[in-house]
Amino acid sequence: MSRLSNLLTPSVPLHELTHAAAAYPWADIDISLDGTDSRVTMDWDDDAPVWAIRVAHLAPTLVGLGIAMLLVVVFGVPSVSGLAGLALHDLGLFVILFVNWVVYAFPSYADRHPFG
């Protein structure tokens, strides 16, 4: 992704930075947000607990679900009738935010299978 892509879809670098933040106590982190592919490489310590590795790989999904639950608690469950009253630009913003949330929270194959 280019830097412009990172500005348009900030969920991709944020997803990778969430992995880095969760793995920081147990791994050496190499963060690459430039170029065509945002990626975090984690070199785990030998004494890193298995649960920490799994949590670090699922951290964006867990944080994304927490954000979704918090939004439901604060604003309630959106209904179709509630969305009908939105102006076109409001609905567009809602769709952009929703897509970014999905990109942030959806676990990749490597996130779901941290040990191969």
Closest-CA residue to 110 (of 35, 36, 59): 59
In angstroms, what CA-CA distances link 101 with 30, 47, 107? 24, 33, 12
In tens, the pLDDT along 38-78 reads 889 999 999 999 999 999 999 999 999 999 999 889 988 77
Whether pTM > 0.85 for this model: the answer is: no
